[in-house]
Amino acid sequence: MIGKRRRMQRILKNGRSVILPMDHGITQPEKGIEKVDRVVEVVQEYVDAIIVHKGVAKRSEVIAEMDAGLIIHLSGSTMWAEDPNDKRLVTTVEKAISLGADGVSMHVNIGSKTEADQIEKLGYVSEVCDWYSIPLLAMMYPRGDIEVNTETVKHAARIGYELGADIIKVPYTLKFEKVTAICDLPVVIAGGSKGSEYELYKKVEDAMSRGAAGVAVGRNIFNSSHPAKVAKALHMIVHNNLSAEDVIEYEGNMVVG
């Protein structure tokens, strides 16, 4: 699939990627992405791809011109739903292609009450993606009554692999080498809730040392008062093999937008 390989190269550079998800607005409004274009303008030099919903992409004035890859998110739910873990398809692969997407993404909650429906849709969408030669990033999360640990994250990653995803996004866990060993696909870690920058950098450094292909960090970038600095730091860890300590030491001298 030459088309899929070419599009994958827009998302992963030499097999590694810093991805900026900004698909959070359906779940709940998030500080920092009221105007997505403002974020893209300052971080696009340091991220390899962004994830947004179709409405954001079609109204953006900068996405069409950015060098970073574009991933359209296909699923969503709101914080007000009876079951917020019930992710529903809200658009199609064909619509994403019409918007110029380099890839699409889906969120699947393993262990949720609607797990069966979500994995059924993941399996179907992966076949549509193969037909159009467009990469599929599967966001695989243990949820509901399932504890998030190495074994459950490993299982979630394997489900995405089995059902045809091209890139897997999962929560970070200790012994992450067991997660990356379970599927020969690029596996990126989720950034999670906003926390300290040092803790984020250490988490990314550890995951990379254990076989991760990169990160998909949203709130820790766009919630930050200096998103470009955080994005550049992550880029240095992922693409230049710097440690968290190296980045913290260097950050004081960073010149970023």
Is 4 one of the catalytic residues? no
Average pLDDT for 66-92: 95
CA separation for the pair 197, 174 (Å, rounded): 18
Catalytic position from the list 46, 141, 161, 172: 141
Q: What is the dihedral of CA 67, 137, 109, 231, to 10 degrees?
A: -30
Chain position carrying tokens 């866990």: 173
Q: Mean of the per-residue pLDDT values for the chain?
A: 94
pLDDT digits (tens, 9 = 90+) for 230-255: 999 999 999 999 999 999 887 665 54
What pLDDT sits at residue 254? 52
pLDDT digits (tens, 9 = 90+) for 131-166: 999 999 999 999 988 999 999 999 999 999 999 999
Catalytic position from the list 23, 48, 102, 166: 23
Helix (H) or strand (E) holding 89: strand 88-89
Catalytic position from the list 87, 154, 169, 232: 169
CA separation for the pair 124, 186 (Å, rounded): 21
Exposure b/e, 172-186, CB count within 10 A at least 16 = b: bbeebebbbebbeeb
The total of other beta-carbon atoms located within 10 Å of residue 105's CB is 27
The domains located in the chain, with CATH, are 2-251 (3.20.20.70)
Is 23 one of the catalytic residues? yes
Is 198 one of the catalytic residues? no
- What pTM, to 2 d.p., does this model score? 0.95
Q: How confident is the model at residue 257 (pLDDT cuts 50, 70, 90)?
A: very low
pLDDT digits (tens, 9 = 90+) for 42-60: 999 999 999 999 999 999 9
